[in-house]
Structure 1
C-alpha cells in the first residue's frame, strides 16, 4: 500500500486551497482537507485505481470513498477536484473524473452509496444530463459514479477504468480556545 500519494506540488496546493475556500480548515488528518460545515475530511488520491481498488484503498487508509450527502458537500468536493494538480494523476485514461462512493453494481436500477443506502435516500441525487439512468447489468454499462471539475452533478463511468479517487474520513473534534472579546474590560 502506498502511504503518501502527494508529490512536492500537492502540499503547497493544499495549503493554497486552505486559504482560498470558505469552510476549509487544515488539520493534521493525514493530508485530508476538512469541510467545517460537515465535519468531514477529504483527500484526493492521485494514483489511479479501478473503483473496487479505490474503495479498498480508502478503507485501508481508515476512511471510505467520498459520498456527497448535500449540495454543499458536492460543491466542496467539486472545488477540491477543480483545484487538483492534474499532472500528478497517474495511470488514468481520463484525468478529470474522480471516483466517489456511489455505484449500482448490485442492481442497475438502484444507485447506492458505499454505505449501502439508496442514493435517493442519501440526500444528494443530482446527475449530469444523461447520466445515472442505468440501462442493464451488462459490464459494458457504467456502474460507478464520480465527479468532474465542471458538471453540476454526478457522472456515471465504467468501474474497471482506472481513475483518481477521493477518500473521506470524519474529522476529529477540535477544542477551540475561548477568545476574549476586545470589549471584555468594559
Structure 2
C-alpha cells in the first residue's frame, strides 16, 4: 500500500484499500492452474488432427467438451490450497476458490456461482474467488458489477481471468477492484509476460 508521503498518518480510503487488495500478485496455484487450463485447451484444439480428422469435418465436431473430465482431474492437485468449483465433492471451505467456466453458455452461471459461493455458502472463510473462463460477455458482467462491489466491501475479492490456448488476461468486473496489473496479456506456455512472484 502506498501512503501519501506528505501526510504519513493519512488513512486509506475504502477505494484505495480495495485497490491495494486487488493488486495482490498472483499466487503460484493460480498460475499453475491457468497453465493446465491452457494445456487442456491446446490438447482439445489439436485433437482432430491427432485423430487424423480433416479441418472441415472438425468444424462439425464438439471437440471442446470431449475431455472436460480430464481438465478437472488435472486441477485436483490444487485442492489442498483452493476450492475447485464445480466439483463432485463438497468444497472444503478454503479462503480461496476457483470457479471454472469453459463453455460460453455457462458464462453467467459461472459468475453467479462465484458470487453465491462467496456470499452465501462460504461467506465466513472466503476471501478471494477466481472465475476462470474461456469467454467474456459484457452484458452479463455488467449485471453483476454491483454484486462484485458488495463482495469487495465485505473483504471478498472476485477476480476474473479470460483464458485461451494462446494466453490469458485478467479483466476487472467492477471499477472498485480494478488495478494496473489487469489487462496485461500473459502467455507463460510460450515465454510470455506471466511470472511468479513467490506467493502461494
TM-score higher than 0.5 here? no
Greater share of residues in strand: 1
Higher relative contact order (CA 8 A, sep 6+): 1
User: How does the TM-score come out when normalised to structure 1?
Assistant: 0.32
Identify the structure with the greater helix proportion: 2
When normalised by structure 2's length, the TM-score is 0.30
